[in-house]
Amino acid sequence: MRLTLLAAALATFVIASVEAKTVLITGSNSGIGLEFAKQYAAKGWDVIATHRRTAEPESLINLRSEFPGLIHIETMDVTNHQQIDGLASKLEGTTIDVLVSNAGITGDFRNPVPQSFGTLDYNQWESFMRINALGGLKIAEAFAGHVKASEDKTIVAISSLAGTFGFRGPTMPGGYWYKASKATLNMYIKIIAGDLEKDGVIVASLSPGQVKVEKMGDVNFPGLIEPQQSIGGMIAVIEGLSIEDTGKLFSYDGTQHPF
Ligand SMILES: NC(=O)c1ccc[n+]([C@@H]2O[C@H](COP(=O)([O-])OP(=O)(O)OC[C@H]3O[C@@H](n4cnc5c(N)ncnc54)[C@H](OP(=O)(O)O)[C@@H]3O)[C@@H](O)[C@H]2O)c1
């Protein structure tokens, strides 16, 4: 009887060890990234939670206390290629089942002037492109080996329908830097998908919907959804992805959209 119990306990331990999966999330200290970290940890996954701050963000320290042993906080600014390559080397031998390229900037909802025709601030273009577009490309390139070696082999970028050509009809005013950077990211995702298809890696763009995050403050508009709903939906989408879905764009509710 004792032996049977021991065997059952061992089997549970082995299954738990075998099933433990890993997700790496960029920009995980707030908003959508933080909710991804929370929901994956709640599923028992190992979460490599990355941020760009000079000190560990309080939000992630709190999450680590809530999920002991599951949250691994790492510094990684997605525009700092030395830092990205450094973390990729540090994690050599660690498989990453799901890579969530989430870090991004949107702009100030209360002050859209720098991205409005007639008052465009051209100095902002580079930041948007370096973070939103090149960031996603470099992260995928640096961690492709870790993803290839995993079971789920999945890379997703948190993009936006605002970065597609057909969204809201033939015209769509304003938001120059953001929309162009997400359109570029979508194109990179499609190209990376082509390059990694032979390795069985699924690469997809995800649209989270319009999600109410802390940085929006008291801004409110119809259609805003809570992070729990958006991220819960995106995790379900990620779980349902197969290699036939590579190079495509999906909403958090599972709808596929053309680029
Ligand atoms: N919320 C929405 O409705 C919505 C809709 C469509 C797409 N998205 C996309 O979803 C993603 C997350 O946005 P969010 O709404 O959750 O906004 P958020 O709360 O501002 O989160 C953005 C995250 O990205 C990080 N980040 C920015 N630049 C970075 C860099 N160079 N290196 C590393 N991390 C960086 C931020 O870090 P700091 O805290 O240090 O700034 C923050 O953790 C973005 O890609 C955004 O474009 C959001």
Please identify, by atom number, the ligand 1 atom nearest to the C-alpha of residue 182: 47
Q: Is the dihedral of CA 159, 161, 166, 172 positive or negative?
A: negative
Domains along the chain with CATH numbers: 22-257 (3.40.50.720)
Atom of ligand 1 minimally distant from the CA of 78: 32
Q: What is the radius of gyration, based on Cα positions, of the chain? A: 19
SS3 (DSSP) at 195: helix
Q: Please list the residues that pair with 71 across neighbouring strands.
A: 47
Atom 19 of ligand 1: nearest residue by CA position: 31
How far, in Å, from the CA of 59 to the mean position of ligand 1? Answer: 14
Which residue CA neighbors atom 46 of ligand 1 most closely?
A: 104
Give the distance (Å) from ligand 1 centre to CA of residue 13: 37
Kindly state the DSSP code that residue 245 receives in the 8-state scheme: G
Task: Please provide the distance, in angstroms rounded to a whole number, between the alpha carbons at the two ends of the chain.
Answer: 60
Ligand 1 pocket, CB under 6 A = 26-27, 29-33, 52-53, 77-79, 102-106, 131, 158, 160, 208, 210-211, 213, 215
Cα 83 to Cα 93, 122, 128, 181, 243, distances in angstroms: 18, 27, 19, 22, 30
pLDDT digits (tens, 9 = 90+) for 7-66: 444 444 444 445 699 999 999 999 999 999 999 999 999 999 999 999 999 999 999 999
Q: Decide: residue 34, CB within 10 A, 0-12 exposed, 13-18 middle, 19+ buried.
A: buried
Question: Cα(8) to centroid of ligand 1, in Å?
Answer: 44
pLDDT, average across residues 216-229: 92
Pocket test for ligand 1, best of 78, 106, 138, 179 (most atoms within 8 A of CB): 106
Separation between Cα atoms, residue 128 and residue 46, nearest integer Å:
30
Q: Rounded to an integer, what distance in angstroms lies between the CA atom of residue 58 and that of residue 181? A: 29
**What is the pLDDT, as a whole number, of residue 104?**
98
Tell me the pLDDT tens digit for each residue of 66-96: 999 999 999 999 999 999 999 999 999 999 9
In this structure, the number of other CB atoms found within 10 A of the CB of residue 83 comes to 17
Name the residue of 211, 212, 250 whose CB sits within 8 Å of the most ligand 1 atoms, as the mutation to test its pocket. Answer: 211
For residue range 27-38, list pLDDT tens digits in order: 999 999 999 999
Model pTM score:
0.93
Residue nearest to atom 34 of ligand 1 (CA): 27
Whole-number Å distance between alpha carbons of 253 and 250: 8
User: Which backbone phi and psi does 6 adopt, to 5 degrees?
Assistant: -60, -45
The Cα–Cα gap between 110 and 220 comes to 11
Closest CA to 163 of 222, 78, 104, 223: 104
Cα(158) to centroid of ligand 1, in Å? 9
For the chain, helix (H) and strand (E) counts, in that order, are: 8, 8
